């Protein structure tokens, strides 16, 4: 399959994104003096902005790539929940499976930016696990959509949606319906995702799972990833290694591609872009080499832009053609 064919196939791919959604809020201003009340800067507020965050940003990336994402998540029955829903609609995202949790507030992360530097982040969230009745509602939503989708993404931020029991139920449902599963894990549920198609921790998460420091060589990280793949009985593990590129470890062996030379501006959101491209490649059934190459390229492109932004499909396509990433794959 060449790159043009693959990108056309992206447009016909329906993806269910099951995970924690949130609002990313930004307060921009200038700083020229220190407060007389405490040794902190005074920010003269100039602008406010609200964006989709968490699993909703993954859905934005998928939409930008031409796919059809469906968000399945929970939100509070509050003002911020309404903002979240309206942002989804504004960006053309399907919200039929966005369920109200009347016992929690919508997650909001507010960043205070002064003179182009982040000074403070304020998190408004509740991370307690959803109760059994809400878990059933979420599972029913997934079950009602399972026959329509080509791939399912678990986007876990440990905010309470993805309980161990819900994870097991959804994995069993996907296997029953032969739907591939891609996981972006966090620490709490790291080893709950048994038998998935692609498991995508970053380097920090991979090392943290086994309580290992950050001094490992790339060769040692490959061995660690192979061990964790066996523990999880996953088809493959993909791990991003920052300046050392990306690896995919499967039963067939290990793919390691170096990072492309980039002018890194902001790494925020790069993981979401990598995950989105990888999920679409898994749905298309391409080789691990091509999956790694395109995902690696996507992460690098996003790192050259300020803030959390979705991947630009045309830019990714252009660079993929220029670098001939599909050659031999």
Positions annotated as catalytic residues are: 272
Write a three-state SS string for the chain.
CCHHHHHHHHCCCEEEEEECEEEEEEEEEEEEEECCCCCCEEEEEEEEEEEEEEHHHHHHHHHHCCCEEEEEEEEECCHHHHHHHHHHHHCCCEEEEEEEECCCCCCEEEEEEECCEEEEEEEECCCCCCCHHHHHHHHHHHHHHCCCCCEEEEECCCCCCCCHHHHHHHHHHHHHCCCCEEEECCCCCHHHCCCCCEECCEHHHHHHHCCCCCCCCHHHHHHHHHHHHHHHCCCEEEEECHHHCEEEEECCEEEEECCCCCCCCCCCCHHHHHHHHHHHHHHHCCCHHHHHHHHHHHHHHHHCCCCCCCCCHHHHHHHHHHHCCCCCC
């Amino acid at each position: 399959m060449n790159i043009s064919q693959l990108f056309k196939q992206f447009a016909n791919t329906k993806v269910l994104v099951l995970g924690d959604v949130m609002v990313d809020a930004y307060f921009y201003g200038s700083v020229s003096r220190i407060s007389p009340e405490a040794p902190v800067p005074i920010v003269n507020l100039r602008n406010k902005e609200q964006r989709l965050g968490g699993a909703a940003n993954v859905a934005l990336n998928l939409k930008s790539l031409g796919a059809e994402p469906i968000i399945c998540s929970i939100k509070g029955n509050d003002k911020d929940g309404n903002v979240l829903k309206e942002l989804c609609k504004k960006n053309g995202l399907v919200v039929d499976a966005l369920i109200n949790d009347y016992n929690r507030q919508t997650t909001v992360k507010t960043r205070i930016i002064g003179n182009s530097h982040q000074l403070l982040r304020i998190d408004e969230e509740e991370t307690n696990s959803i109760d059994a009745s809400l878990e059933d509602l979420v599972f029913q939503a997934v079950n009602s959509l399972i026959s329509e989708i080509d791939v399912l993404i678990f986007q876990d931020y440990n905010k309470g949606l993805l309980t161990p029991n819900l994870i097991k139920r959804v994995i069993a449902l996907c296997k029953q319906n032969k739907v591939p599963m891609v996981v972006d894990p966090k620490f709490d549920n790291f080893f709950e995702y048994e038998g998935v198609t692609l498991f995508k921790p970053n380097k920090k998460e991979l090392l943290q799972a086994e309580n290992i420091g950050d001094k490992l060589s790339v060769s040692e990280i490959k061995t660690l990833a192979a061990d964790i793949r066996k523990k999880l009985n996953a088809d493959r593990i993909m791990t991003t290694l920052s300046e050392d590129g990306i690896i995919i470890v499967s039963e067939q062996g290990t793919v390691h591609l170096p990072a492309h030379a980039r002018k890194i501006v902001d790494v925020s959101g790069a993981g979401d872009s990598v995950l989105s491209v990888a999920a679409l490649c898994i749905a298309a059934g391409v080789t691990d080499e091509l999956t790694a190459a395109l995902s690696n390229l996507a992460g690098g492109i996003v790192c050259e832009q300020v803030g959390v932004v979705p991947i630009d499909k045309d830019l990714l396509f252009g660079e993929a053609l220029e670098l001939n990433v599909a050659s031999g794959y």
